[in-house]
Amino acid sequence: MTEFRQDPGSFRDPGGHVFWLNGLPYRSVTAVGRDDMELLRQSGLADELSAGGQLVPFSTDGAMPDGAMRLKLSPLPWISYPYEWCFEQLQDAATLTIDVMLAALAKGMMLKDASAFNVAWRGGRPVFLDHGSFTRYVAGRPWPAYRQFCEHFLAPLAVISRNDALLGMISRCFLDGLPLDLASQLLPWSSWLRPSLLIHIHLHAKMQRRFADSTRKSGGKSATMSINSLRAMLANLRAGVSAMRSPLPQSAWHDYYHDTNYNDQAFADKHRLVAKACGELAATARVIDLGANNGEFSRVAAEHAALVVAADMDHGAVAGLYRSIRGQADSRIYPLVQNLDNPTPGLGLFNTERQPFLERCRGDLAMGLALIHHLRIGSNWSLAHIVRLFAQCADSAIVEFVPKDDGQVQRLLRSRPDICPDWTLEQVCQAFAQSFSQCHVENIVESKRSIIFLKK
Amino acid sequence: MCGFILAYIDPGVGSMILQGALAGLFALAFFYSRIKNWVLGLFRKPQDHKDD
């Protein structure tokens, strides 16, 4: 039976919509968007961008029952959202958007929107996924997506860069982009001295306020801009984005593996045990690495699996992992920022437009290395909560048990009473046995820690 | 059909007027970079051709 599902996040553009057929992505192109789609294909722009890895490849695939054109899209291994990216990922997504816009201009087209949700990832490279964003360039007209680019990319990047990486989460609250007047208030006075921020955020915010109640048509003839001016403005935006630096503090986590109770032998043995579990995976397997830190063991998993989702709450650790795979389209690791105490919920229209993290993170193996003692002792999760997390992610799991006399747990208990009498290897295994039929424990040599291998 | 009719986002009146107002500045930047590249090109050593 054919399974049809409209993509809940694709409903705004009258030119077409994304839908899923038997789990594969397609796009319908209505009569409104047909001319633009023909131009995208016939101008050679689609082929050029696809060949360069900047655009998700597609092919025409007949017609819809209502006469709309049907495109078959190349599936992406994993979808994440801008509020789950580290600073550098958002920066690279912004640069890609400008590059795609410049390439479009060279072919007589442009982007009619510049949403950060138009960008996905193929390994360590951003890829543009909204084929409906391309439209014919009208000479002399300003860029209609200018405001959206500033709100989705430039403003969040500037606010994060000038304050704290944790502000990456602010995009969760503003799915339509960070309002420029708010961004202008959040930026320090020194940002007025930087021309790109002065123009594109501060003056831009003032202009928006000034004309907020205007009855003038934004597409009217009063505002004109030559293509050379438009190109210079895009170059200025690109330079402004590239010049920004992540404000990463010295986080507690990105140096975790150099600051733990492992000696070289224990560390090597942990590698061996993880490789043993991953070695049993099929080549097409998906691994969910929760609390992945800097991806030390995500890399081990990536040697065996087709895809490794490496989630961690620490921006510094995620940024470090992303830097190590940046630009590599063949990387199987997908880093993302995720706080398991408050994972990404369903957002947008009816809370279905953007999927919750826990609905997306389904795989063949879930890994929780040096994680669950933080959930139990640090965040007061019950053992049942921990078991539920791993059981809903995959049919197999490996988790590391760190006992109370380990230095890391001692550190957690230093300033709080011990209210976790069930934190013993035996009771943790008993809890996992509620959802996993097989539970096998191996100790990490030269350490007090153990790896628990679980299967349903 | 004009692309603006198809655009489904609000470009913002202020955003469009700002671009129009700054068009001259960006045009200047465009030609400045062109002239700069041309002048620098005069002093750049010609690259060896490897036609053989």
Q: Total domain count for chain A?
A: 3
The answer to whether residue B19 neighbours chain A at the CB level (below 8 Å) is yes
Taking the C-alpha atoms of residue A76 and residue A128, their distance in angstroms, rounded to an integer, is 11
Whether residue A252 has pLDDT greater than 80: no
pLDDT of B6 reads 52
Q: Determine whether the interchain pair A229/B27 forms a contact, defined as Cβ–Cβ distance below 8 Å.
A: yes
Amino acid at A394: A
Report yes or no on A150 lying in a domain.
yes
Instruction: Report the residue from A216, A225, A228 with minimal CB separation from B19.
Output: A225
Report yes or no on A251 lying in a domain.
no
| A106 contacts A112 by C-beta, under 8 angstroms | no
Q: What is the mean pLDDT of residues A365-383?
A: 91
Stronger pLDDT, B41 or A356, i.e. the higher one: A356
Q: Are residues A303 and A448 in the same domain?
A: yes
Q: Are residues A103 and A238 in the same domain?
A: yes
pLDDT of A448 reads 86
Q: Are residues A236 and A267 in the same domain?
A: no
Taking the C-alpha atoms of residue A270 and residue A143, their distance in angstroms, rounded to an integer, is 53
Q: Are residues A69 and A93 in the same domain?
A: no
pLDDT of B52 reads 41
Residue written as token pair 């170059």:
A235
Instruction: Report the residue from A36, A218, A224 with minimal CB separation from B13.
Output: A218
Q: Which one of A73, A92, A113 terminates a domain?
A: A73
In angstroms, the Cα distances linking A439 to A365, A398, A432, A435, A455 are 14, 10, 8, 10, 7
- The per-residue b/e assignment along B42-51, b for 16 or more CB within 10 angstroms, e otherwise, is eeeeeeeeee
Report yes or no on A275 lying in a domain.
yes
Q: Are residues A261 and A407 in the same domain?
A: yes
Report yes or no on A286 lying in a domain.
yes
Q: Are residues A52 and A103 in the same domain?
A: no
Q: Are residues A329 and A364 in the same domain?
A: yes
Task: Report the Cα A373 to chain-centroid distance in Å.
Answer: 26
Q: Could you say which residues from 131 to 160 on chain A have a Cβ atom under 8 Å away from some Cβ of chain B?
A: 135-138, 141-148, 150
Report yes or no on A250 lying in a domain.
no
Q: Please report, for the domain that includes residue A366, its CATH number.
A: 3.40.50.150
Q: Determine whether the interchain pair A222/B24 forms a contact, defined as Cβ–Cβ distance below 8 Å.
A: no
pLDDT tens column, A184-233: 999 999 999 999 999 999 999 998 888 877 666 554 457 888 999 999 99
Q: Are residues A62 and A115 in the same domain?
A: no
Q: What is the nearest CA distance from B39 to chain A, expressed in angstroms? A: 19
User: Which of A64-73, A111-120, A194-203, A373-382 is least confident?
Assistant: A64-73
Q: Are residues A92 and A69 in the same domain?
A: no
pLDDT tens column, A111-130: 999 999 999 999 899 999 99
Chain B: residue whose CA lies nearest to A11 = B8
Q: Which one of A26, A42, A73 terminates a domain?
A: A73
Report yes or no on A348 lying in a domain.
yes
Q: Are residues A12 and A106 in the same domain?
A: no
Q: Are residues A224 and A274 in the same domain?
A: no
Confidence of residue B51 (pLDDT cuts 50, 70, 90): very low
Confidence of residue A409 (pLDDT cuts 50, 70, 90): confident
Taking the C-alpha atoms of residue A90 and residue A82, their distance in angstroms, rounded to an integer, is 7
User: Which of A45-54, A78-87, B24-33 is least confident?
Assistant: B24-33
Q: What is the nearest CA distance from A269 to chain B, expressed in angstroms? A: 54
Q: What is the mean pLDDT of residues A376-388?
A: 92
Q: What is the mean pLDDT of residues A124-144?
A: 92
Q: Determine whether the interchain pair B17/A219 forms a contact, defined as Cβ–Cβ distance below 8 Å.
A: no
Q: Are residues A148 and A289 in the same domain?
A: no
Instruction: Residue A29: give the domain boundaries.
Output: 4-73
Chain B residues with CB under 8 Å of A110 CB are 3
Report yes or no on A404 lying in a domain.
yes
Report yes or no on A249 lying in a domain.
no
Taking the C-alpha atoms of residue A241 and residue A317, their distance in angstroms, rounded to an integer, is 22
Three-state DSSP state, B21: helix
